[in-house]
């Protein structure tokens, strides 16, 4: 055997008489691949996702802006995913992590359909799985930097659930993530307390109002958005839609000149 085909002496370690070089960026060309990496801060992010139950289903809304820091970088990205004919989910937070999560769920749905047993994932099943998936990633100190709203229709009623990056999960008749949890959620809760069983038209009008307020108040929001409605008839995705806004009131704002 030729000498050139022999493996190097003590592969991966220092040469005889030399010190071991730690695999870190400071070592330049000597950096070793395969190190452990973690997302320390999200890069391209999405802001609020809103969800609301109505009599006969649920409706989820999210704008289509991907912000690179404070830059409105991507203005036509969808943050709502149709899982199957009874379940949808919307995610705020890191868009790359949402894309990864979307790929995983899509493969899960394909594997389930290949069984051919007539069953499919229910909204509660996806919500339950997400609580375990997010908590597992958090426990490994490598969380998915997303807050997810799951909506669907199953067993004759609507379902609306929430899961954050730590695995914290709950169900509620109205949900909001991001800045919407401060601005839009009080408006939705007030409407639900006054009338627990909203009609589909009332729920849609309320979410349109919330999306408009978020565009006025949230610097990371945008006036292009999507609506996804889930009823016993299936999933209906509407969008991109554009909000009609009025900035005349801006002339009344003073004290910031």
Cβ–Cβ under 8 Å, residues 171 and 161: yes
Contacts of 194 (CB under 8 A, 6+ apart): none
Tokens at 235, concatenated: 């999933």
Q: How far is Cα 175 from Cα 189, in angstroms, rounded to an integer? A: 9
CA-based nearest residue to 51, from 41, 61, 43, 38: 61
Cβ-contact 231, 237 below 8 angstroms: no
Give the single-character DSSP code of 10.
Answer: T
What one-character-per-residue DSSP string does 170-200 give? EE-SEEE-TTHHHHTHHHHHHHHHH-SS--H
DSSP string for 137-169: HHHTT----EEEEEEEEETTEEEEEEE-TT--E
Q: Compute the distance between CA of residue 227 and CA of residue 223 in angstroms, rounded to an integer.
A: 13
Reading the block at residue 15, the tokens are 């040469």
Q: Which residues are catalytic?
A: 39
Distance CA 223, CA 20 (A): 56
């Amino acid at each position: 055997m030729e000498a050139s085909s022999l493996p190097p002496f003590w592969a991966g370690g220092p040469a005889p008489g030399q010190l071991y070089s730690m695999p870190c960026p400071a070592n330049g060309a000597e950096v070793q691949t395969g190190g452990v990496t973690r997302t320390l801060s999200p890069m391209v992010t999405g802001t609020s996702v809103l969800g609301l139950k109505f009599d006969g289903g649920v409706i989820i809304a999210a704008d289509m802006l991907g912000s690179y820091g404070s830059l409105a970088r991507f203005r036509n990205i969808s943050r709502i995913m149709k899982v199957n004919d009874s379940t949808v989910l919307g995610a705020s937070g890191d868009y790359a992590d949402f894309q990864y999560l979307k790929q995983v769920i899509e493969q899960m749905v394909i594997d389930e359909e290949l069984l051919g047993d007539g069953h499919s994932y229910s909204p509660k099943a996806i919500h339950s799985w997400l609580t375990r998936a997010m908590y597992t990633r958090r426990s490994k100190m490598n969380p998915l930097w997303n807050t997810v709203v799951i909506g669907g229709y199953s067993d004759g009623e609507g379902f609306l659930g929430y899961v954050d990056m730590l695995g914290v999960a709950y169900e509620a008749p109205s949900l909001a993530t991001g800045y919407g949890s401060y601005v839009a959620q009080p408006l939705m809760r007030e409407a639900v307390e006054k009338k627990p069983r909203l009609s589909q038209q009332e729920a849609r009008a309320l979410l349109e109002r919330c999306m408009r307020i978020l565009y006025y108040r949230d610097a990371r929001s945008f006036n292009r958005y999507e609506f996804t409605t889930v009823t016993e008839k299936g999933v209906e995705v509407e969008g991109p839609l554009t909000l009609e806004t009025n900035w005349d009131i801006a002339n009344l704002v003073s004290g910031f000149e």
